[in-house]
């Protein structure tokens, strides 16, 4: 017990520093006071939630999941079902059960239940999928994503099929998103230093030795899968509240790849990497978009051609991964001491390279 | 690393802060939160160009309420989350009117930001009932005509003018727009005495082959007089080609989505093919002003309008400016009240009506374009005598 407390104290710096970083972004939005900039910061927080959610499973288990956008979809639609005005539900989603149509919760309660809903499905899917390892598991998670997407794109009465679901209350202040992002960071940290998290990371690096020591790999993976599914579900719900519209195609390949690449660029094996990856790439994307729109320097206006943003983003990501194959943070966490105190780290752990992340 | 992130963010924040904040009341600003990149750009750009032509005309004639109309832009990048930002961005730049993407799904996030800021929003050319009160709120409008009106127009016109009695309904289930055309057809058909639906089928826009559907049409005891084809580009071309290649010569009735001659070379010598349009891009519009507009469009953009979807952009600035003029202010509620008073308001592309129940056209004049031997041209015009009830549109 005392050992656990000391692990917590030793590693508490990481979530605190990351939260401080997020608070700086929120304050920036507050100081600038521009609505589109505020929305940009909200977007960044949403991505932080999603990438941290992804990290909880991918980072700790080493199994790349292509399916987590599915949980975001589950969460977003659950939020729509729970928070839309009953009148709109009646016309847009006539297939919902009566008690659900009549229900209208505040957004935070909706987001909580959406997270729970996503977690329930993560548990059901995970029970089967977590028996698989390596690339087979990755492909199975992708199949899960395709299933969720197909069901939500076609179940007309309940999800509105491919039409946009509108009427979701829009929340435009930055604070709820900040709180949720900090919550996600702390959940990830708490899971990482828990028995399940430590066991899972041990199994990621040395599966044979880990199972010889009595670690039940499918069970530990399932725990991470459920926790990360819940965080993704919460992120999905908040996404729905950030723009007020949900459609199934929002939560498909595009979201899958952007969240995965942010995690990979930041460093798959590190919670700090997940957060820093999002912040770094989001700032880069935003700066490039800003340059595309044009900057006035003196008398002349300088603008990049449209589309440069996507190309430049790709080039930067290649450069980062060429120079630092294990991402910006590698396997390190931010800490008080220099050179990154080994936070929720298993001693003697090797730097995982990318190819290793997928294997086993 | 961390420091660099801070630095970039701070610079970014400072730069955004320096952009002009809320406008004073001396300006009249139209904000376009539309796609300047991505696939929606192909739809948004032409309609926006047409809107700019109307703005220039108004400004050249002395402006609106004695002020020049200013224009601000923000790119949605054909992305919903970016769409919300683009909406907020033009609102921050002082927009009195927020013009959003052509398609309901992509325009809605920006329209919702305008709605919550209490501003008037206009979809460039959305044809779903949701693009307005039903899907956004009481300050939202669409400049185009409901897809259902197109289906109803084609059913009635072919019945009255072409003597069609047996119909076959072929629906591409890809989009709301397609379903809307067939919904209008379904509404109109039962009202036509002794018109019968001899069969119906569905396909998907991406289907490479619709051989199965064609076999079912071929196996009917008699070839139907008309096929109501509810589809859109790009799948429409392949479907039309296959129907004709199978030797089915029935009239093909369509929605406006297949207007334009850019694809006709893919189906050589196409005949007996009918499309409803709001105005003609072929230089033969009964209203000479439309032809003059086409010339002005060519002068402004360097090319002829490629489809009729250019026109709603012009209409939206036209009706909004009239409402502002009548209200004597750009205040959203006053402008909405004036817009809702419009009943058969004449525009270059047919009369427009708005009411407190529907901010869209559930009845409109359509020109009928017939393609004969690969040559499209206006042959007639038709207005459905009765507006389609809102209840039937909300199905």
Taking the Cβ of residue A90 and every Cβ of chain B, the question of whether any pair is shorter than 8 Å is answered with: no
* Cβ atoms within 10 Å, residue B180: 23
* Cβ atoms within 10 Å, residue A109: 12
Mean pLDDT, residues A107-131 taken together: 96
- The pLDDT of residue B238 is 94
Q: Are the C-beta atoms of B22 and B94 separated by less than 8 Å? A: yes
Q: Are the C-beta atoms of A11 and A333 separated by less than 8 Å? A: yes
Distance from CA of A248 to the nearest CA of B (A): 11
d(CA A72, CA A53): 10
Q: What are phi and psi of A321, to 5 degrees?
A: -75, -25
Nearest to A222 by CA among A346, A356, A90, A65: A65
Cβ-defined contact of A39 to B1 (cutoff 8 Å): no
- The pLDDT of residue A91 is 82
Nearest to A260 by CA among A102, A154, A138: A138
Q: For residue A171, what is the enclosing H or E element?
A: none
B8, B77, B80: residue with CB nearest A243 = B80
d(CA A31, CA B63): 37
What is the per-residue burial (b if ≥16 Cβ within 10 Å, else e) of A174-189?
Answer: bebbbebbbbbbbbbb
Question: Helix (H, G, I), strand (E, B), or coil: what is residue B15?
Answer: helix
List CB contacts of B60: < 8 A, sequence separation 6 or more.
none
Q: What are phi and psi of B31, to 5 degrees?
A: -105, 125
CATH number of this structure's domain B147-277+365-393, picked from the four choices 3.40.50.10310, 3.90.1410.10, 3.40.50.2300, 3.30.450.40: 3.40.50.2300
The two structure tokens encoding residue A81: 């079902």
E strands, B173-250, where?
196-203, 226-230
Domain B2-145+291-341 - what CATH class?
alpha beta
The two structure tokens encoding residue B386: 């009765």
Per this entry, what is the length of chain B? 395
Cβ-defined contact of A276 to B17 (cutoff 8 Å): no
d(CA A26, CA B9): 11
What DSSP line would sit under A307-338, residue for residue? THHHHHHHHHHHHHHHH-TT-SSTT----SST
Instruction: Band the pLDDT of A136: cuts 50, 70, 90.
Output: very high
- Secondary structure of B266-294 in the HEC alphabet? HCCCCCCEEEEECCCCCCCCCCHHHHHHH
With 0-12 / 13-18 / 19 or more C-beta atoms within 10 angstroms meaning exposed / middle / buried, residue B191 is: middle
Q: Are the C-beta atoms of A346 and A203 separated by less than 8 Å? A: no
> Is A295's pLDDT higher than 50?
yes
List CB contacts of A136: < 8 A, sequence separation 6 or more.
none
- The pLDDT of residue A232 is 97
Q: Are the C-beta atoms of A92 and A85 separated by less than 8 Å? A: no
Q: Do B2-145+291-341 and B147-277+365-393 show the same overall fold?
A: yes
* Cβ atoms within 10 Å, residue A274: 34
* Cβ atoms within 10 Å, residue A108: 16
Residues of A in contact with B77 (CB under 8 A): 289
- Give percent of chain A above pLDDT 90: 64
Q: For residue B312, what is the enclosing H or E element?
A: helix B311-327
First to last CA, chain B: 55
Q: Are the C-beta atoms of B93 and A151 separated by less than 8 Å? A: no
- The pLDDT of residue B222 is 93
Q: Are the C-beta atoms of B260 and B229 separated by less than 8 Å? A: no
pTM confidence score: 0.83
Q: Are the C-beta atoms of B97 and B32 separated by less than 8 Å? A: no
* Cβ atoms within 10 Å, residue B11: 13
Residues of A in contact with B16 (CB under 8 A): 32, 34, 36-37, 290
Query: What one-character DSSP code corresponds to residue B64?
Result: B
Cβ-defined contact of B130 to A172 (cutoff 8 Å): no
- The pLDDT of residue B1 is 42
B85, B130, B135: residue with CB nearest A40 = B85
- The pLDDT of residue B10 is 47
The mean-pLDDT minimum among A109-118, A308-317, B374-383 falls in A308-317
d(CA B290, CA A274): 57
Tell me if the bond preceding B234 is cis, omega within 30° of 0. yes
Per this entry, what is the length of chain A? 360
The two structure tokens encoding residue A72: 């975001």
The domain segmentation of chain B, as residue ranges, is 2-145+291-341, 147-277+365-393
What DSSP line would sit under B77-121, residue for residue? TT-HHHHHHHHHHHHHTT-SEEEE-SSHHHHHHHHHHHHHTT-EE
With 0-12 / 13-18 / 19 or more C-beta atoms within 10 angstroms meaning exposed / middle / buried, residue A298 is: exposed
> Is A338's pLDDT higher than 50?
no
Mean pLDDT, residues A44-71 taken together: 96
Residues of chain B with a CB closer than 8 angstroms to some CB in chain A? 1-2, 5-6, 8-10, 12-17, 19, 21, 36-37, 74-75, 77, 80-81, 83-86, 88-89, 91-92, 104-105, 108-109, 112-113, 116, 130, 134-136, 175-176, 394
Nearest CA in chain B to A240: B81
- Per-residue pLDDT tens listing for chain B (395 residues): 444 444 444 444 444 444 444 444 678 999 999 998 888 888 899 999 999 999 999 999 999 999 999 999 999 988 888 899 999 999 999 999 999 999 898 999 999 999 999 999 999 999 989 899 988 999 999 989 999 999 999 999 999 999 999 999 999 988 888 989 999 999 999 999 999 999 999 998 888 899 999 999 999 999 999 999 999 988 999 999 999 999 999 999 999 999 998 899 999 899 999 999 999 999 999 999 999 999 999 999 998 999 999 999 999 999 999 999 999 999 999 999 999 999 999 999 999 999 999 999 999 999 999 999 999 999 999 999 999 998 888 76
| Bigger pLDDT: A354 vs B362 | B362
Distance from CA of B93 to the nearest CA of A (A): 10
d(CA B138, CA A184): 37
């Amino acid at each position: 017990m005392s050992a656990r407390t000391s692990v917590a104290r030793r590693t508490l710096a990481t979530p605190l520093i990351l939260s401080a970083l997020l608070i700086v972004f929120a304050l920036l939005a507050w100081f600038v006071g521009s609505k589109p900039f505020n929305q940009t910061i909200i977007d960044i927080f949403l991505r932080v939630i999603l990438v941290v959610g992804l990290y909880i499973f991918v980072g700790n288990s080493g199994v790349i999941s292509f399916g987590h956008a599915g949980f975001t979809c589950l969460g977003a639609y659950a939020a729509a079902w729970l928070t839309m005005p009953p009148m709109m539900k009646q016309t847009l989603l006539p297939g919902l059960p009566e008690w659900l149509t009549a229900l209208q919760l505040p957004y935070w309660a909706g987001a909580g239940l959406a997270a729970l809903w996503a977690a329930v499905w993560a548990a059901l899917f995970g029970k089967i999928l977590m028996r698989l390892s390596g690339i087979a598991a990755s492909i199975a998670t992708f199949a899960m994503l395709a299933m969720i997407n197909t069901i939500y794109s076609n179940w007309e009465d309940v999800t509105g099929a491919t039409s946009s679901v509108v009427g979701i209350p829009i929340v435009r202040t930055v604070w709820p998103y900040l709180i949720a992002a900090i919550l996600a960071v702390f959940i990830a940290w708490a899971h990482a230093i828990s028995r399940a998290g430590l066991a899972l990371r041990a199994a990621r690096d040395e599966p044979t030795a880990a199972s010889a020591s009595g670690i039940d790999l499918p069970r530990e993976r399932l725990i991470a899968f459920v926790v990360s599914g819940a965080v993704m579900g919460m992120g999905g719900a908040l996404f729905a509240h950030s723009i007020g519209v949900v459609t199934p195609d929002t939560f498909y390949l595009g979201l899958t790849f952007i969240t995965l690449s942010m995690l990979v660029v930041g460093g798959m094996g590190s919670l700090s990497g997940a957060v820093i990856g999002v912040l770094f790439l989001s700032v880069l994307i935003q700066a490039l978009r800003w340059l595309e729109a044009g900057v006035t320097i003196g008398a002349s206006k300088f603008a990049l051609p449209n589309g440069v943003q996507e190309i430049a983003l790709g080039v930067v990501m290649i450069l980062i991964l060429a120079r630092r194959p294990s991402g910006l943070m590698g396997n390190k966490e931010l800490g008080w001491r220099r050179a990154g105190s080994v936070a929720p780290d298993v001693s003697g752990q090797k730097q995982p390279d990318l190819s290793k992340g997928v294997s086993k | 690393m961390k420091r660099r992130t801070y630095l970039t963010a701070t610079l970014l924040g400072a730069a955004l802060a320096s952009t002009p904040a809320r406008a004073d009341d001396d300006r009249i600003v139209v904000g376009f939160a539309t796609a300047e990149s991505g696939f929606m750009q192909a739809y948004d750009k032409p309609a926006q160009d047409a809107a700019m032509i109307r703005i220039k005309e108004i400004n050249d004639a002395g402006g609106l309420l004695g002020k020049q109309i200013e224009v601000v832009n923000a790119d949605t990048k054909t992305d919903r989350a970016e769409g919300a930002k683009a909406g907020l961005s033009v609102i921050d730049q002082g927009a009195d009117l927020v013009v959003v993407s052509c398609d309901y799904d992509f325009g809605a996030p920006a329209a919702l930001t305008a709605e919550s800021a209490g501003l008037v929003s206009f979809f460039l050319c959305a044809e779903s009932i949701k693009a307005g009160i039903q899907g956004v709120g009481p300050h939202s409008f669409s400049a185009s005509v409901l897809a259902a009106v197109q289906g109803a127009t084609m059913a009635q016109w072919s019945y009255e003018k072409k003597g069609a009695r047996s119909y076959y309904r072929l629906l591409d289930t890809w989009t709301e727009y397609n379903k809307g055309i067939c919904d209008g057809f379904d509404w109109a058909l039962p009202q036509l005495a002794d018109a019968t639906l001899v069969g119906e089928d569905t396909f998907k826009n991406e289907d490479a082959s619709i051989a199965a559907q064609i076999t079912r049409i071929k196996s009917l005891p008699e070839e139907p007089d008309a096929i109501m084809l509810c589809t859109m580009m790009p799948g429409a071309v392949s479907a039309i080609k296959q129907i004709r290649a199978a030797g089915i010569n029935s009239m093909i009735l369509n929605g406006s989505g297949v207007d334009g001659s850019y694809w006709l070379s893919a189906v050589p010598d196409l005949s007996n093919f009918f499309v409803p349009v709001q105005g003609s891009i072929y230089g033969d519009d009964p209203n000479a002003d439309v032809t003059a507009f086409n010339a002005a469009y060519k002068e402004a953009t360097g090319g002829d309008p490629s489809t009729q979807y250019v026109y709603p952009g012009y209409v939206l600035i036209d009706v909004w400016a009239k409402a502002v003029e009548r209200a004597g202010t750009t205040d959203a509620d006053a402008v909405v009240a004036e817009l809702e008073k419009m009943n058969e308001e004449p525009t270059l592309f047919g009369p427009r009506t708005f009411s407190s129940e529907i901010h869209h056209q559930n009845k409109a004049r359509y020109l009928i374009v017939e393609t004969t031997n690969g040559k499209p041209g206006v042959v007639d015009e038709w207005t459905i005598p009765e507006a389609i009830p809102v209840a039937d549109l909300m199905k």
